[in-house]
Structure 1
Amino acid sequence: MIDPKNFGTVACIGVGLVGCAWAVVFARAGFAVNIHDADAAVLEAAPGRIRLQLDALSDQGLVDEPPSVVAGRVRVVASLEEAVRNAVYVQESILEKADLKRALLEQLEPLDDGRRIIGSSTSGIPASAFASGLRISDRVLVVHPVNPPSLIPLVELVPSPDTGADALNFARELMLACDQSPITVRREIDGFVLNRLQAVLLREAWALVKDGIASVEDIDKTVRDGLGWRWSFMGPFETIDLNAVGGVADYARRLGPLYQRIAASRDHSDSWDAELIAEVEAQRRKLLPQAQLRERSHWRDLRLMAFALHARSGRE
C-alpha cells in the first residue's frame, strides 16, 4: 500500500476544473502536490478554486483535516521543470487535444527520472494516440476520472499497448491510496467503459424523445426514480443477478430475447439532428431556465457530497 509519508511529490499539470479537483484528491489523501498550468491566469486562479472545494467538502464532513492543512500541501509552481522535479507521479489534465498532450509528453521526456508514472485525465483519447514512440511510453497511461474526482470515486485505468504492467499496478495502488475506485480497461477502445455505457443509455433516451414515446422529464424520472435507485449502489450485472430467482443465467435466458429485440429495433446510425436537439433543449429550458443552470449545478454538487458522505459511512 502506498504511504503518502514515504512518497515523493504528485504533480498536477493543467489545473482547470478537473486538475483542481485532482489536486484536492491527492492533497486530501496526504500527498504533497505541485500544480502547474501553461496559462498563467488559470494557475493564478487554481488555489482559490481548490480552497473553495475544500471548504465545501469540509462543511459536509468529507475532509478529515482542516481545509487550511490540506490546502497547505498544494504548491503553485511556475515552471514545468520545477513542478515535476521530485514528482513520482504526474496527473495530466490539459486540453482534450492529442497534439497538445503529445507536445507535453515531449517536454516531459527530457525531464524524466526513469521511474515517473504519467496519467492522463483524457475522457476519450487513447494513450497510444499521443504517447507512442517515446522513451517514457511504457510509463504513460490514461487515468480518467469522473468529474469531479473529489466527489465521485470511479477512475478508469486504460493502458496503451506500450504501457508496462508496473505502471498500471502503480496507478491502481495510488488511486486506492487516494480512496478512489479504479477499474482496469484491458485494452484501448473508443470511449473506454464509462462513456460507452453512458452512450447506450443516452442514445436510447434521445430516440425515445424523437419517436414521441416519452418526454424529457419522464425519461429523466425513469432513471432518477427507477433505475438509478439500484444503480447508485450496485451495477447492472448484480442488479439482474438479484432480479431473477435463478440468478443472472436465469435472467439472461428469460429476458435475453426481449433485449435482443429492443436492440434490433434501432437503427444505430441515427444522429441527434438539429430538430431533435432543439426539442430536447426546449423541454429542458421549460424545466430549468438557462439563468438557473449554475445554481442547479451547485445543488447537484451538494447532493453528490451528501451521497459521498453516505457511501463513506457505509464502508466504515
Structure 2
Amino acid sequence: MTERVAMIGSGIIGRAFAICFSRGGYEVTLYDPKDGVADAAIPLMRETVADLEQNGLLNDRTTDDVMSRMVPVKTMEEAVEGAIHVQENAPEVLELKRELFTKLDKIAPKDAVLASSSSSIVTSKFTEELEGRHRCMIVHPTNPPYVVTILELVPAPWTDPEVAQKTRERLEAMGMSPITLHKEVTGFIMNRFQSPILQEAFRLVAMGVVSPEDVDKAMSEGISQRWSFIGPLEVGDLNAPNGFREYAEKYEAMNRNIAMEQRDLMPWAGPLLDYIDKNFRERVPMDQHKARQQWRDRRLMALAVHKKWANENIK
C-alpha cells in the first residue's frame, strides 16, 4: 500500500514539495483554502515533471507515474486522512501557522509528522501549546526543491529526536539532501547565508561600485562556480597550500576590515530599490518573468545532471 503525504497549501512551494514526495513514491494529497487552486496545480506540475523526466531526474519514474499519485482534495480533513507526513505551506504569518497547526494536531493521524515550510519562523513559536508538539518541526526547502534538494530540518526544543531522525531518513530515501539544525535560529541556515550577500549587493550598488548586472555576474560566473560543489569553508581549505589554518591566518585581518565596513545595514527601499527593480524590469519584463523562472529551473536541472555524473565519474 502506497503511503500518503498531505500538502496543506498548493502554491509554488506546495506544488514543488508535492513533486518531490510523489517522485519519492508517495501518494500526495493537495489541499488549498482557495477554491480551484489545488485542481489548477495539476497541469502546472505536469509541465515541470515532464522537464524532470527529460533530464533523468525522476528517480527512474515516468511523468504519468508521478502525476498519477497527485490527488487534489476539497478539505483539510480529506488531505490528512491516513497521512504519515503533513507539509504546511502557508504564508509566513505567525498567527496563521498557529491556527493551522492547532487544527492539524487535532485532525491528523497521531503518528503523522507535522512539518512546516516556514522560511524564518521557528517551530517553537507556533507549537508550544499543542498536545502533539513532539511531532512538529520545520522542513524548509530551497526553491525549487525538486532540483535543489537541500532541506533544512529544524526541530523545536520539544521535538522527539526519533521523529526528526526518521523524517531525515525518509527524505534521504527520496533523494533529498537534508541538514539538521541542532538548535533554533531565526532564518535557519540558507537565509542566514543569503542575507549578508544581499546586504552587500545593495551596498555595492548604492556606493556606485558596480551595476546590478555585474553584481549578479560576480556571483554566477565567479564565487558560485566553486560553491556549486564545495562550501565556503572548504574553498578556504583548498585555497591555501597548507590548509584552512593557513588560509584563516592569512586572510583574517582583511575580512575583519571588510566586516567593519559592512556593519551598517542597507535599506531595501527607496531610490535604491527603485533603481534595482527598474534595472531588472528592463532586462526581464514581467510578461517574461515566468519564462525566466522556467529557464532557471532548466539550467538547474542541467547542473543537477552534471553533478550526478561528476559524483559518479570524477574521484
1:177 paired with 2:179, answer no
Q: Percent identity?
A: 37
The letter of the residue matching 1:44 is D
The letter of the residue matching 2:76 is L
Aligned residue number for residue 249 of structure 2: 253
The letter of the residue matching 1:158 is V
Question: In 2 relative to 1, CA 291–80 (structure 1 residues): closer, same or farther, beyond 3 Å?
Answer: closer
Residues 80, 109 of structure 2: 8 Å contact kept: no
How do 1:97-176 residues align onto structure 2 when only pairs under 5 Å count? 97-176=93-172
Give the C-alpha shift of residue 13 in structure 1.
Answer: 1.3
Give the C-alpha shift of residue 161 in structure 1.
Answer: 1.5
Q: 1:193 aligns with which of 189, 196, 216?
A: 189
1:8 paired with 2:17, answer no
1:33 paired with 2:28, answer yes
Q: 1:268 aligns with which of 258, 264, 274?
A: 264
Residues 83, 108 of structure 2: 8 Å contact kept: no
1:306 paired with 2:271, answer no
Aligned residue number for residue 94 of structure 1: 90
Aligned residue number for residue 231 of structure 1: 227
| TM-score when normalising by structure 1 | 0.94
Give the C-alpha shift of residue 112 in structure 1.
Answer: 4.0
SS in 1 for 2:36: helix
SS in 2 for 1:156: strand
Residues 117, 140 of structure 2: 8 Å contact kept: yes
- For this pair of structures, how many residues does the alignment match? 311
1:20 paired with 2:15, answer yes
1:277 paired with 2:289, answer no
Residues 201, 215 of structure 2: 8 Å contact kept: yes
Residues 205, 211 of structure 2: 8 Å contact kept: yes
Question: In 2 relative to 1, CA 285–35 (structure 1 residues): closer, same or farther, beyond 3 Å?
Answer: closer
Measured against aligned partners, the alpha-carbon deviations of 1:51-90 in whole angstroms (never above 9, x if no partner) come to: 2221121222222222111111122222222221211111
Rounded Cα–Cα distance in structure 2 between residues aligned with 1:11 and 1:293: 29
Give the C-alpha shift of residue 310 in structure 1.
Answer: 1.5
Question: In 2 relative to 1, CA 279–176 (structure 1 residues): closer, same or farther, beyond 3 Å?
Answer: same
RMSD, aligned α-carbons: 1.6
* Stretches of structure 1 lacking an aligned partner (at least 5 in a row): none
The answer to which of 296-305 and 243-252 deviates more is 296-305
Structure 1 ranges of 4+ moved more than 4 A: none
Question: In 2 relative to 1, CA 287–108 (structure 1 residues): closer, same or farther, beyond 3 Å?
Answer: closer
SS in 2 for 1:40: coil
| TM-score when normalising by structure 2 | 0.94
Measured against aligned partners, the alpha-carbon deviations of 1:188-236 in whole angstroms (never above 9, x if no partner) come to: 1111110011011111111011111111112111111110110111110
Measured against aligned partners, the alpha-carbon deviations of 1:115-172 in whole angstroms (never above 9, x if no partner) come to: 2111111111111111111011111011000111111101001111121101211221
Aligned residue number for residue 50 of structure 1: 45
Rounded Cα–Cα distance in structure 1 between residues aligned with 2:71 and 2:268: 44
